[in-house]
Structure 1
Amino acid sequence: MAAVQSSRPLAARLQATRKTRSGIIMVLCIVAAALGLIALALILGALLWSGFSSLSPAVFTQMTPPPGSSGGLLNAIFGSLVMTSFGVLLGAPLGLFAGTYMAEYGHGSKLTLVVRFINDILLSAPSIVIGLFVYEIAVVPLGHFSALAGSLALALLVVPVVVRTTEDMLNLVPGPLREAASALGLPRWLVIRFVAYKAARAGLITGLLLAVARVSGETAPLLFTALNNQFWSTDLNKPMASLPVVIFQFAMSPYKEWQQLAWVGALLITLAVLALSITARILGAQRTSQ
Structure 2
Amino acid sequence: MDPVMRGLAMTNCQFIRQAHNSLARPADLRGSSHAVATSTLEYAKSQKKTRRNSDSSPPKKRRKQNFGRVKKPQLASAEEDVENYHFIAYVPIDGKVWELDGLRLSGPLEVGEITSDSEDGSGRTDWMSVVRPALRRRMQSLQSNESDHVRYNLLAVVEDRYEKASDALEMLKRKRNRLESRLNEELPEVWTSQVDPSLLASRVEAFATSSQGSSSLGPTYDPEFGSQKLEMEMDILDMPARKLGEAWETCVRNAMTAKVAVEDELSNSIRTQTEQLSRTFDYEPLFQTFIICLHNEGCLGTVLPGK
State TM-score, norm by structure 2.
0.21
RCO higher in structure (CA 8 A, sep ≥6): 1
* TM-score, normalised relative to structure 1: 0.22
Higher strand share: 2
Larger radius of gyration between Structure 1 and Structure 2:
2
Which of the pair is proportionally richer in helix? 1
